[in-house]
Each structure stands twice: as C-alpha cells, then as structure tokens.
Amino acid sequence: MSSTAVLLLVALVAMYAAFAIPVMLRFRSYCRHVANATNRISELNDQRSIDDGGSNAFEREQWWSLASGDFQEFTDPNLIAEAATLSKKVRLSMALAVGLVVAFPFIAGLR
C-alpha cells in the first residue's frame, strides 16, 4: 500500500471520527433524556445487559429506534425534535461507516 493510500485512509478515518464521536456523545445525552421522560432510568443504568460495545439493552433499543425513525411515541415536542435531528445523524454515521469499509479495499489498492 502506497503512502498516498495510507494518508487517504488516515484522513478518511479522522474525518469519520470527527463526525461520529460527537454523534455518540449526543446519543448518550439523548438516552438520558429519554430515560428521564419515560421513567426508565433503572433500565439506562442497568449494567447486566451491557454488550461488547459498552451499550446496554436500553441504549441499543434507542439506537435502533433512531436508525429506523421510530421515535414518535414521545409527547414532549423538544424530545421529538432532538430525536429527529439525531436520527438523521445516526443514519448518516452508519452509512459513512459502511462506505468507509467498502472503500477500504479500493483505497488500499492504490499504487
């Protein structure tokens, strides 16, 4: 793999991280808001259902509801607005991650 390919990969990963890390931090904050609004704080704090990525069942449920756009059960308009904005960013983050993985072999093949 040439130095150009390595630099391109490093730049793409750095750009992805610059986008994805704030999304994840905002997602954690969103989970706290949802847990407080729905009286599910104990589920958010449940350490028994943590997976290898560090998310528990409540956080995984919220992630997939944002990814699928299924968050309309809330009554708080601020929470719905936050979910709508974050939902777009979650889906974009997932698409960028897949794009980065798909692009890797092509970039690695650069000479």
Which pLDDT belongs to residue 111? 60
Domain encompassing residue 10:
3-46+69-108
Asked if residue 57 is part of any domain, the answer here is: no
- pTM for the model: 0.84
Which pLDDT belongs to residue 72? 75
Asked if residue 58 is part of any domain, the answer here is: no
Which pLDDT belongs to residue 65? 93
Asked if residue 64 is part of any domain, the answer here is: no
Asked if residue 60 is part of any domain, the answer here is: no
Which pLDDT belongs to residue 85? 96
Distance separating alpha carbons of residues 75 and 39, to the nearest angstrom = 13
Asked if residue 63 is part of any domain, the answer here is: no
Give the pLDDT of the chain (111 residues) as one tens digit per residue. 688 888 988 999 999 999 999 999 999 999 999 999 999 999 999 888 787 778 899 999 999 999 998 877 788 899 999 999 999 999 999 999 999 999 988 888 776
Asked if residue 17 is part of any domain, the answer here is: yes
Asked if residue 30 is part of any domain, the answer here is: yes
Q: Is the dihedral of CA 92, 73, 38, 84 positive or negative?
A: positive
Q: Quick one: 64 exposed, middle or buried, by C-beta within 10 A (0-12, 13-18, 19+)?
A: exposed
Asked if residue 51 is part of any domain, the answer here is: no
Counting the structural domains of the chain, the total is 1
Residues sharing a CB contact under 8 Å with residue 91, sequence separation 6 or more, in sequence order: 66, 67
